Structure 1
Amino acid sequence: MTELYTDKVTQKKRAISLDIARGSMLFLIILAHMPLLLYTSEPGVITKVAGQTPLDQVLNILMELIVDNRARPLFAILFGYGLVMVHRKQWVRNGSEKVKHLIKRRCWYLVWLGAILAGLAGGQDILMTYGITGLIVIHSLKKDTKKIKKYTIISTIPYIILLPILWGGLLVSMQSYGLPVELTGQETYLSTLSDRLFAIIFTPFITHVLFPVIPSVLMGIWMGKLNLLVEPQNYINLLKKLTVICFAISLVGALPLVLINDVWFPSFFIAGVIAGIHILTGFAGGLGYAALFGLLGLSINYHGVIVKAITAMGKRSLTFFVLHEILIVIILSPIAFNLGAVLTVTTSVLLGIVMWAVTLSVAYFMDHRQIEGPLEKYMRNLTYKKIL
C-alpha cells in the first residue's frame, strides 16, 4: 500500500507518490527550460541548442529522449489529477454548482498568475495554458472513466492529424531545424516589457496549438477518477503496463528526432513532422512517468532527507515552479546576470542541478519550520474565500 504521510503544516494525510511526482517534475522542467535562453549558441533541433562537445551531444540526446515534451505532459497529468481531488473533496462539502464555480475561479486565478509570471517576470508560461485548459475540461470532472477516455481520444485525434503538418510548415517557413532564441544581449527589463505584455494575449493559444496539453490533462482526470496515484495498490498490474507500454511509445517516438542534424539531415518539412511525432508520443511519456511514480509510491518510505525534501517541494509545487522560472530569467537572460551568453549545454544542465538542489534545501527548511508555500496559501485564499 502506498505510504501516506502527515503534512506538518495542515496536519492532513498526503500520498507520497503525488508529491514525489510533483517535486521531481519541477527538476525536469528546469532542464527543459534552461536551453531556451542559451542565445549565443547555434540552434540545434527544435528547442535544443547545438552541442559543442561530445558530452553536450550526449546530454542533448538524453534530453530529447526523456525530458523534452515529456515533462510538460507529466505536469498536465498532475494538474488534471489535482482537479479531480479538488472536485471530489468540494463536491461532498458544497455540492455541484458551488464546486464548479470554485474550480472555475481557481482556473481563472491560474490564468492571472501565469500572465503576471510571463508578462512581468518573463518566465515560460504554463499556468495560463493550464488555467484555460481547466476551464475547457471542467465538465468532464463529473463524468465516468469511460466518458473521459472517450474525450481523451477525441481531443487527441485532431492533433495526430494536424500537429506534424503544422510543425512541418513552421520549420519550412524558418528554414531551420531549430527555433531561434531571439535575444541580442542588449535587452533590458524595460525595453522588453511591452513585448512580454503583448505576448500574453497570444501565448496560451500558440501553446495549445503547437504544444497541446488538453489530452494530457484528461489523462490526469482519468487517473484521478481511478485514484491510481493515491491507491496504487489496487492497480499494480495496470500501472506496470502503463509504465512499460507508455515509455516504449515515448522512446520510439523520440528516436527519430535524436538522429536529426547528427546522422540524418531530412528536409525541413520532414523534420517538422518528426517534431510533431515527438510531441505526440510525449503524451505517452508523461503518462508513463505518472504511472512510474504511482509504483514508486508503493516502495518509497517517508524517511530520509532527500525524500522529505522532494515531497516538501511537491507540496509547494506552484511556489517553486514560479521561483524556478524567475531564477532562470534572472540568471540566464540579458536583463540580469546574462549567463545565457556563455553557458553551454553541459554547464546549463549542471546549473539546473544546482538550482534544483538549492531550492530543495529551501523546501526542506520550509517544511521543517512548517512554513506553507506562499503562492499555495495565496491561491487557496483567493479560491475559497467566499466558499468557506
Structure 2
Amino acid sequence: MSAVPAHAAARVTAGAATPSATARVRSLAPDLARGAMLLLIALAHAHMYLYGHERGFRGYSLDGSPVDRLVAGLQVLLVDGRALPMFAALYGYGLVRLADRWTATGADWPEARRMLRRRSWWLVAFGFAHALLLFFGDILATYGLMGLLLVGMVRAKDRTLLRVAGLWTVVYVSLASVTALTIIENGSTPYPTDAESLLAGVGARLATWSVLAPMLALDVVTPFLLGMWAARRRLLDEPGRHHILLTRIALVGITVTVVGGAPLALIDARLWTDWSAAAAVPAYALHSVTGIAGGLGYAALAGLIAHRRTAAPGRVVTALAACGQRSLTCYLLQSVAFVAIFVPYTGALGGRLGDAGASAVAVGVWFATVLIADGMRRRGRRGPAETLLRRLSYRPVRPRPQT
C-alpha cells in the first residue's frame, strides 16, 4: 500500500468527510465476488442446521443417501474450506481500500486506524447478536477479530505481508492436523441446532460461537493478508490491467483446490471407507491449506468475469453485484431464513432433510436474497445492516492543521 499522503489536495470540513460523502464509481469485481461468495456461504452453512445425524470430518451426515453423499463430496471438494478463505481475502482487500478512501478525505493514519478498529469492534458486536439469536457459526465476529488484530498490517511492507502469510500457512497446516486428530479420536462435535426453543438454544449457541469465532480467525490469516497485498495492486478494481495475473491465479488456485480437496472429499462422500488416521490427517490438512488457493482462485475468477462484463454487465451480473454491495444484509437474511426453515421450533426441516435437501434450500435462499438485493438496488436503497454499521463506525474527519 502506498504511504499515507503528507497533505491532501483539498481539505474537507468536519461532518462531510466520510467515504460515502465522496462520489465514486464502485468497482464491479469486488461486489460480484461477494455476491457469488454468498452462494458458497449458504451451501457451507445450510447442512450445519441438520440434526439427528452422526457427522464426518466436514460436518456432513454419515448416514445419508447416495445423493446426499454425492452432494457432500462435491461441497467438500469445491465449497467447504474454500468460501471462508475467499471471504477473508475479500475482507482484507476491502479493509485496505476502505483505509485508502478514508485517508483520501483528509484523515491521517491514526484517524483511519481508529475508524477501522471501531468498525471491527462493531462487527464483533454484530457477530455476538447473530450467534445469540440465530447461528452459532457466525463469521462476522471472526472478521472483526481479524480487523482488530491485524489492522497494523495495512501499512506493513509487501515483504512483511508475504512473509507473515507464508509462515502462518505452516502454522495453519499444524492446526488443521490437530483438528483432524481430535475429530478422529472424539468424533465431530454436535452442532447446537436441535434446541426446542429460541431461548433453550442460547447457551449452546454462544458457547460454540465463543470457541469457533477465534478458531476461524486463526484459519484465515493467510488469505486475509494476501487480500491486503492484492488490494495494494488494485487487482479487482482494475482487472483489465491485471488480466494475465488474475487468469493465472484462477487457473492455478482452482486446480490446486480440486486436487488437494479430493482425498477428503472421497472420505466424507464415503467412497473411501478403509482410510486410516495416517491417511486422514494429511488429507484433512491438505484440504485445508489448498482451500486458500481455491478462495483466491474464485476471487480472481470473479475479477475476470467483471472485466468481460463491465461495459454491459447484464441483469444477472448486476443482480449479483447488488447482492455483493449488500453482503452483510444478505448474509444475515440467510440465517433468518435457515432458522425459519430448519430448526425444531419453526419449520423443523433440519430433522427431516439430508445434505442434498439442505443444499437445495441453500440455493433457493441465496437466490431469494439476490432478488431482494436487486429490488433494493432498483429503489436506490442500501442494505439496512450496511447502513447501521456505517452509522455506528464512521465519525467526521477532523480537519488537519494547515501548514
TM-score (norm 2): 0.87
Q: What secondary structure does 2:61 align onto?
A: coil
Q: Structure 2: how far apart are the matches of 1:68 and 1:200?
A: 18
Q: What secondary structure does 2:26 align onto?
A: strand
Quickly say closer, same or farther: Cα 1:43–1:14, change in 2 above 3 A. Answer: same
Paired residue for 1:4?
none
Quickly say closer, same or farther: Cα 1:327–1:109, change in 2 above 3 A. Answer: same
Q: Which one of 243, 246, 251 corresponds to residue 239 of structure 1?
A: 246
Please report how far the alpha carbon of residue 158 of structure 1 lies from its aligned counterpart in structure 2 after TM superposition. Answer: 1.4
Task: Pick which of 273-282 and 130-139 moved more.
Answer: 273-282
Paired residue for 1:340?
350
Q: Which one of 272, 285, 303 corresponds to residue 276 of structure 1?
A: 285
After superposition, where does 1:72-221 map in structure 2 within 5 Å? Answer: 72-93=84-105, 94-160=107-173, 162-174=174-186, 176=187, 178-181=188-191, 185=194, 187-209=196-218, 212-221=219-228
CA RMSD of aligned residues (A): 2.2
After superposition, where does 1:247-326 map in structure 2 within 5 Å? Answer: 247-260=254-267, 261-268=270-277, 270-301=279-310, 302-326=312-336
1:57 paired to 2:69: yes
Quickly say closer, same or farther: Cα 1:106–1:280, change in 2 above 3 A. Answer: same
Paired residue for 2:4?
none
Paired residue for 2:6?
none
Deviation string 1:72-126 (CA, Å, 9 cap, x unpaired) is 1000011001001111111222011100111011111101111110122235210
Paired residue for 1:25?
37
Q: Structure 1: how far apart are the matches of 2:195 and 2:175?
A: 35
Task: Pick which of 267-276 and 334-343 moved more.
Answer: 267-276
Q: Which one of 364, 388, 400 corresponds to residue 378 of structure 1?
A: 388
Q: What secondary structure does 1:290 align onto?
A: helix
| Aligned AA (1:46) | R
Conservation of the 8 A alpha-carbon contact between 1:168 and 1:269: no
Conservation of the 8 A alpha-carbon contact between 2:136 and 2:192: no
Give unmatched runs, 5+ long, in structure 2: 1-20, 399-403
1:40 paired to 2:40: no
Conservation of the 8 A alpha-carbon contact between 1:76 and 1:217: yes
Q: Structure 2: how far apart are the matches of 1:42 and 1:150?
A: 40
Quickly say closer, same or farther: Cα 1:247–1:72, change in 2 above 3 A. Answer: same
Conservation of the 8 A alpha-carbon contact between 1:46 and 1:179: no
Quickly say closer, same or farther: Cα 1:198–1:87, change in 2 above 3 A. Answer: same
Deviation string 1:47-83 (CA, Å, 9 cap, x unpaired) is 2123633332322221111111000100001100100
Deviation string 1:207-251 (CA, Å, 9 cap, x unpaired) is 335xx0111111110111110001112222211111111112211
Conservation of the 8 A alpha-carbon contact between 1:102 and 1:384: yes
Q: What secondary structure does 2:199 align onto?
A: helix
Deviation string 1:316-370 (CA, Å, 9 cap, x unpaired) is 0011111112221221112321110111222222211211121211111111011
Q: How many residues align?
A: 375
Q: Structure 2: how far apart are the matches of 1:378 and 1:349?
A: 30
Give unmatched runs, 5+ long, in structure 1: 1-8
Paired residue for 2:18?
none
Please report how far the alpha carbon of residue 386 of structure 1 lies from its aligned counterpart in structure 2 after TM superposition. Answer: 4.4
Conservation of the 8 A alpha-carbon contact between 1:171 and 1:268: no
Paired residue for 2:78?
66
Runs of 4 or more off by more than 4 Å in structure 1? none
Task: Pick which of 110-119 and 234-243 moved more.
Answer: 234-243
Deviation string 1:168-216 (CA, Å, 9 cap, x unpaired) is 3212331x4x554455x4521111123333444333223335xx01111
Deviation string 1:3-36 (CA, Å, 9 cap, x unpaired) is xxxxxx9964111111110000001100010111
Q: Structure 2: how far apart are the matches of 1:312 and 1:191?
A: 36
